[in-house]
Amino acid sequence: MASELVEALAQLSAEKNIDELVVLDRLEQSLAESYQQVLRLDWDARVTIDRNTGDIYVYELVGQGEEDPETGEYESYLEVDVTPDDVSRVAAQNAKKVINSVVREAARASIYQEFADRKGELVTGTVLQTTPDFTIIKIRDGVEAELPHFENRANERNERPANERYQHNQRLKALVIDVREPNPTGVTTAAARAEASRPPIIVSRSHPDLIRRLLELEVPEIYDGVVEVKSIAREAGARSKIAVHAREHNLDPVGACVGPKGSRIRLVVNELRGERIDVIQWDENPATYVASALSPAKVSNVLIDEDTHYATVIVPDDQLSLAIGKEGQNARLAARLTGWHIDIKSSSLIAAEGMPAGTTASLIDTEEDEETPVDTRCEYVNADGVRCRNHARPGSRYCGVHANAAQTEEAAEEEPAKAVEEPEEVTEEMLADAAAAVAEKEQAEEQEEEDSLI
């Protein structure tokens, strides 16, 4: 039995890629605790396993000399052989427990080494189990992740949007936000219950960077770095705002993210279960940036105070509720996106109170006739009569792609036609020659008629 145990441990260690000596040391410690209880020893026990034959020996450590009052240790210990006859039975029971524990810890250590450097990456998995506190997601065979949603427990994570509920075998995309480090002692210091038996990988569906990773999948310009995501403000499950910037002058970053007929952004919205996403263009001018962040509301004026980092936004009276949003959501997301404290006031209130003092005014000329809707699309029309779907650049009627082409066409229309010659001046001699030619033609026609009658 002893030799069979050693052979089994060696074979299992090779299959699981575990150090055999580590398994034997853990087994000796487990057997020592078990035999101290089974044999009811007055002193501690020590167990040794012969590495070649697999024979098991149990010794009782009897203290010799005087006991140290502080540590409780003795000067020396006498090893008394108390090996029982049925030592193999207890060894087999403990071996199974120790092997399972070592294999589980080795698997967690392997997963930790693989995913410790992958925080912030997007993973795709299948829902295995859902509990009131967390959802287990299978990433691949042997690798599972946990999506916590401890809504009613303090100091615990809640990484699930409020509008999402998961079903068995449902496929999900999630963001890796943390990987638990394996604890060899089996003692957990975290507040989460049963953490030692839960998956080491922690994923999130509510983190703002989830939108960034999803856009990298759907928008090649973001993946290649041509379009940069400057900032993200998100209220998971409800609404998000994204500020993007193009590193190439002739590229419309908003149009690239939205895609033809909204196809690209629609895939991201579907993955987020209908969460509304506003994509705006980032601008280095804070006044323009704040005005764009309050989209879809139309802004009349933005007053910037650099010292206090306050932005006072003036909007038409009929745009006030739209700028603030439901329960202040639009203004709150705009403030998070821009990093400015935004104070929204209506035009009538400003007219009654006057312009705030001590601010630097930056005018955003967006006032339009109330009866005429503002059209911010590019005005370029191709040869087939189809109008461009991109947004026009600020201060221009065309997007970055068609700005040069439009200038060329306007220049061609303004250039005078050189092929048309100016008419010559009509003189009396020219009129006389024309009259003589007409008379000769009439005389010739009369002569032809007489000849035909003859």
- When comparing pLDDT for 102 and 169, which is higher? 169
Whether the link from the prior residue into 296 is cis, omega within 30° of 0, is yes
Mean pLDDT of the region 429-443: 67
Side chain identity at residue 319, one-letter code:
Q
Mean pLDDT value across the chain: 80
DSSP 8-state assignment for residue 83: -
* Contact present, 171 and 113 (Cβ < 8 Å): no
User: Which of 24-28, 160-164, 272-276, 434-438 is predicted least confidently?
Assistant: 434-438
Residue 320 three-state SS: helix
DSSP string, 377-446: B---B-TTSPBP-SBPPTTSSS-TTTHHHHHHHHHHHHSPPSSSPPPPPP-HHHHHHHHHHHHHHHHHHH
pLDDT at 4: 72
- When comparing pLDDT for 136 and 34, which is higher? 136
Mean pLDDT of the region 10-21: 76
Quick check: 424 pLDDT over 90? no
Q: Is 281 left (phi over 0), alpha (psi -120 to 50) or beta?
A: beta
Rounded-to-integer distance, Cα 259 and Cα 267, Å? 10
pLDDT, tens only, 86-130: 766 666 677 777 777 777 887 788 888 888 899 999 999 999 999
* Contact present, 277 and 269 (Cβ < 8 Å): yes
Quick check: 78 pLDDT over 70? yes
Quick check: 191 pLDDT over 60? no
112 membership: H or E segment, kind and range? helix 87-115
* Contact present, 144 and 136 (Cβ < 8 Å): yes
Quick check: 400 pLDDT over 80? no
pLDDT at 359: 55
The residues with which 391 forms a beta bridge, in sequence order, are 377
